[in-house]
Amino acid sequence: MSSQAPRTGEDRAANTGSIEAVTSTPPLRALRVEYGDEHHMVEPGREFSIGRESDLSVDDNPYLHRRFLRIRAESGLWWLENIGTLLTATVTDASGQVQARLAPGARLPLVFEHVHIVFGAGSTSYELTIRTAGGYYGPAVSPVSREPVSRESDETIGHVPLTSSQRQLIVALAEPLLRQSSAGHGEIPSSADAATRLGWTLTAFNRKLDNVCDKLDRIGVTGLRGGRDNLATNRRLRLVEYAIATRLVTRDDLAILDLLGSRPDAQLADDGGEGVDG
């Protein structure tokens, strides 16, 4: 049986100091909020609000809360809080693979270096970015490049098979945001305007919109179907919010609208033979 000298108080203090050195939180540094051409630096100890009449006034949209989101530091972390009463924001990491819905009264820590926020008010969708000086975690995965889509093919994006026409529908709705060079806001087109943009009848557009919303609803995306607890009063806005936040469509996908002229008009008009996934 081996003997071991008893540990002195100095030994214990030295070991404790080593543990504290490993587990201590680094000093909190300023973060940057980006919206369009506006860049705002937020220092620890300062609260920063986002809304209609806030530190960052994104728009004079009457459907937007005067103070909707708030950023503040607490317990060594930056936090994003929803201080509104009606609107919800979608928050994702840079890859779009980690996402959260920030409901009224909820808050979450900003643990990624780049955080994207998308929300809607009325018929307008908004997008902004928060950059921290070194997050606790990197992106969940590296963004995956996709092969160009031919008009005959189906593509599985996020485990959801989408036909080319379904992707065209999403891109047409998200086009105002996708064409911006930086995060900002865009007016979501009406169903009639989107149908005209695509060269479809309104009946065909609404049926395809139903199918896309049903597919995403089946994988757990909320706000796309009506029901007792979910009125889905503006599913086009929610669809764009989800698609932008999760990178379901990106700026590169605008090229798919170029395929519009390569399909016979008869296929686009009412396409009754596509079935439930058309």
Q: What is the mean pLDDT of each run of 10 residues along the chain (278 residues)?
A: 53 50 66 91 94 93 93 93 92 81 93 89 87 63 44 44 88 88 76 91 91 88 67 75 86 82 46 46
- What pLDDT is attached to residue 156? 39
Residues 213 and 210: their CA atoms lie apart, in Å, by 5
Domain boundaries, the chain: 31-132, 154-274
How much is the pTM? 0.62
Where do the DSSP E strands lie in the chain?
A: 31-35, 38-42, 48-51, 56-57, 69-74, 77-82, 89-93, 99-102, 107-109, 114-121, 124-132, 154-157, 160-163, 185-187
CB contact at 8 A, 93 and 112: yes
In terms of Cα–Cα distance, which of 194, 81, 177, 60 is closest to 126?
177
- What pLDDT is attached to residue 97? 74
User: Where does residue 100 rank: exposed (0-12), middle (13-18), buried (19+ CB within 10 A)?
Assistant: middle
For 197-251, how does the pLDDT look when each residue is reduced to its tens digit (9 = 90+)?
Answer: 999 999 999 999 999 998 888 888 888 876 554 444 578 888 988 888 888 888 8
Residue the block writes with tokens 């606790």 = 136
Q: Which amino acid is at 107?
A: R
Where do the DSSP E strands lie in 103-223?
A: 107-109, 114-121, 124-132, 154-157, 160-163, 185-187
Structure tokens at 243: 């698609």
Structure tokens at 1: 């049986």
- What pLDDT is attached to residue 21? 45
- Reply yes or no on domain 31-132 having CATH 2.60.200.20: yes
User: Where does residue 195 rank: exposed (0-12), middle (13-18), buried (19+ CB within 10 A)?
Assistant: buried
Report the DSSP pairing between strands 48-51 and 56-57: parallel
- What pLDDT is attached to residue 247? 83
- What pLDDT is attached to residue 177? 84
CB contact at 8 A, 187 and 124: yes
